[in-house]
Each structure stands twice: as C-alpha cells, then as structure tokens.
Amino acid sequence: MRADDANARALRHVHAVRPQWRGVVAARDAVRLPEFTLLHAGPPFEDARRPSAVVRSSAVLCCLYEGWAKDEAHAERLISQGEVRLESAQSYGVVTPLAAVISPRSSLVEVADAQVCAARSWSLLGSGAGPQIRFGSRDPRILERMKWRDEVLAPVLDRRLAYGPLDLFPLAQAGLDSGDDLHARTTGATAALRALLASRLNHAEVDAMLAQTPLFFLTPWMAACALMLSAAAQAGEPASTLVVTLAGNGERVGIRLAGAPSRWITADARAPEGPRIDPDQVAAAAPLTGDSGAIDAAGFGAQALAHAPEPAQAFEAWFPAAAHDRQSRIHTAPHPAFSRLPGVLDAARVVREDIAARAAIAMIAADGRSGLLGRGIYTAPPELFARALNSLHGETA
C-alpha cells in the first residue's frame, strides 16, 4: 500500500497542473544553454563523442547552423573530440522530438503551469512541412527550415503569445474529439490551435504553414505532458512508481520514476515497428529515438488509439485493437480532464500485470541519412521496469 498511497499523492500533483503555452524563446535564453553545447533526446550517451548515427547527423547540422563548423567533416571532428558537447535535453527541463538536436539559437516553446508559474517545460518549436531536424538526416534544406523557424516563425508566434498564454487542455480535447491520439496524429488539435491564433496572427505565411503541418501541435503537447509528469517527480514521494520519462537516444531506452527522478534506468533500445511511407524502402529503422514517449506515459498516444480511428487502423497489424484495453491496466486512473483515457504509466503495474508498455512514435532510418520512414509503435522491454522497481525498493527499504 505504501507505493499506492505515494502514487495517489503524486497523481494529485499531476492533476493540478494546467499547462499554458506562454512564449517562444531561444534555448540560450530559455535554459541558459552554453555555446558549443547541444541537447539530444533520451538518456545521456555513454560516450557523447560517439552518439547514435541519427543524433550525430542532427548535431552536424546544428554545428553548421551555429557557425561552429565550416563543413560536415569539421563538425564531425568537433563532436568526436568533445569540443562540441552533447547533453541530455531532459537535464535542462527540455524534451525534444525524435533525433532533433537543440542548439543555442534553437527556438523553444515555453509551457508553464497556470497554477504555479515557476513550473515550466520546454520543447523544440516546429518548423513546418518538409525536411526536418527531427528526422535525423543531413538534408541541407533543413538548415533553411531552421533559419525560417528562428527568424520568421518564432518572432511572429511570440508576439501573438504576448497578448496572453494559450491553454493547451482545450486544444488537446478538441484534437481527441476529432480523432487525434495526440502523438501519431495531432491534426484536430493543430487545426484548433490555428483557429485560435488566426484572430491575432495576421501573417499569411505562418498561417499557411500551420494549415500544411498537421503535427505542429506535437511539441507544445510534449512540453505539456513533460510538465505534468514533472509535477509527480517534484511531489517528494520516494515510494512512487509512476513513470515520468520514457525516452530513447537512438541506442538506449530509458525511464525515470517519480520516486527517484534523477536516476535513469536504461536498456538497449529496439526500433519501433509500423507502416512505412514507402513500402519498398528497405532502410533499417533506428532504435527508439526521442522524448515524445512522455505523451504516452501521461496517458495519450498509444493509450488513446481506441478513440483515434485513423492511426489505430494504420497500426492494426502491429498493435491490434484487442490489445488497447489491456494498456489501461498498467496506467493509473484517468486524468479528470480526460476521463475517456488511462492515466499515468505505473512501473509497478507493468511488472504486476506483465503487460508491455507501448508508445506511438515515428520510425526514422538508422543510417542517419534516409530520414523519416513512417509511423511506428514502440514496445518497451518489461525488464526495464522491473529493474527500475528494484532500484527504487533498494533506496526506500
């Protein structure tokens, strides 16, 4: 009962959070990111001078974007010699999608708690349709998208947010009502966001980008879910078994529990599986990469597929509809604002029920060159949760 009581208390903190999109801020200002430092998804690398191929490709582009390197070979040397440091984004309170790497100039969405304004989380601002830093390739067109993001999109959105923050729960609910799972699909939530911005945006190029980018809501919602889960981590409940992080760096998958939020428990990561954009594409998918498992750990994404017909149908061969109900057994009671969905992922329930935790996360190519392959479902190794519990019990015994 000790863990159950601790989880109930931690969950009250989660439910009290009211996430609002407050602003758009460069990483150097938002989290005081130093020069020659880059942030990546997932747990820290065992040797940050030799990151996974997908993260390395994004890091190379960031070195070029920041003007630290004159060409790819120079950027590779800076990374391999440790002159450019790669650190886990979550150690800065940041979550980043897939293989996206954050540099000091990178624009971040800032999400704060309406109840406790000092509580904040950040994620990378999207840059519209086309080649993306999060896909882990070296397409040079990404550099132009990054420049547009930081020099055009970020100032426009920040000026709009100066009129007042945007509550994210109503937008998320609008998405769920229209068939979003809020991870693999955020079409409805993005449309609701666009409509809300339209009255004061008055910028045709940005409005057109929002119309063409149905996943734009993803990163603000990542930050919102990370903020809610961080409330459990900050609740001061050392016996809590709630999962506050589920993330990968392209080599290792890691989780953190609310009872020991500073400790990563990691294992070798497998690749997500799912439908490919090009069925003839034979490139291998990279092992789990990205921090967006926070969405699924908070009860959305793979946990919302029963209410999201389009992604559910796309994933049917890899995650049958009959398995959806089983997922709720490893999550807490629902969030009061989202009563149709499961609540927070609980490591103790994963072990007790012997049900694998799943996340809806895209597949990107392991070669660090081919980019996006398609949608995916990731199945976390059960032994990861068992080890996390053993570690927690050893500390609280």
Q: Do 123 and 167 fall into the same domain? A: yes
Q: Do 320 and 197 fall into the same domain? A: no
Residue 396 pLDDT exceeds 80:
no
CATH number of residue 245's parent domain: 3.90.1700.10
Task: Output the six-digit token pair for 73.
Answer: 């070979």
Residue 397 pLDDT exceeds 50:
no
222, 251, 281 — which closes off a domain?
A: 222
Domain total for the chain? Answer: 2
The runs of H, that is alpha helices, within 215-308 are 218-233, 293-297
User: Is residue 57 within 8 Å of 63, Cβ to Cβ?
Assistant: no
Alpha-carbon distance 97 to 255, whole Å?
Answer: 16
As beta bridge partners, residue 121 has 111
What's the pTM value of the predicted model, to 2 decimals? Answer: 0.96
Quick one: pLDDT band at residue 202, thresholds 50, 70, 90? confident
Q: Is residue 9 part of a domain?
A: no
Give the largest Cα separation in the chain, rounded. 60
Q: Do 246 and 211 fall into the same domain? A: no
Q: Do 336 and 253 fall into the same domain? A: yes
The total of other beta-carbon atoms located within 10 Å of residue 317's CB is: 11
CA dist 286 to 126, 139, 255, 279, 361, Å?
21, 17, 18, 17, 12
Q: Do 161 and 61 fall into the same domain? A: yes
Q: Do 262 and 212 fall into the same domain? A: no
| Structural domain harbouring 306 | 235-396
CATH number of residue 28's parent domain: 3.90.1710.10
Which regions of the chain does DSSP assign to beta strands (E)?
A: 19-26, 37-40, 85-88, 94-95, 107-113, 120-124, 166-167, 243-249, 252-257, 260-268, 289-290, 358-360, 363-364, 372-374, 377-379
Q: Is residue 230 part of a domain?
A: no
Helix/strand/coil for 229:
helix
Q: Do 127 and 256 fall into the same domain? A: no
Q: Is residue 8 part of a domain?
A: no
CA dist 385 to 61, 121, 239, Å?
35, 25, 14
Q: Do 92 and 29 fall into the same domain? A: yes
Query: What confidence tens digit (pLDDT) does each residue in 31-41 have?
Result: 999 999 999 99
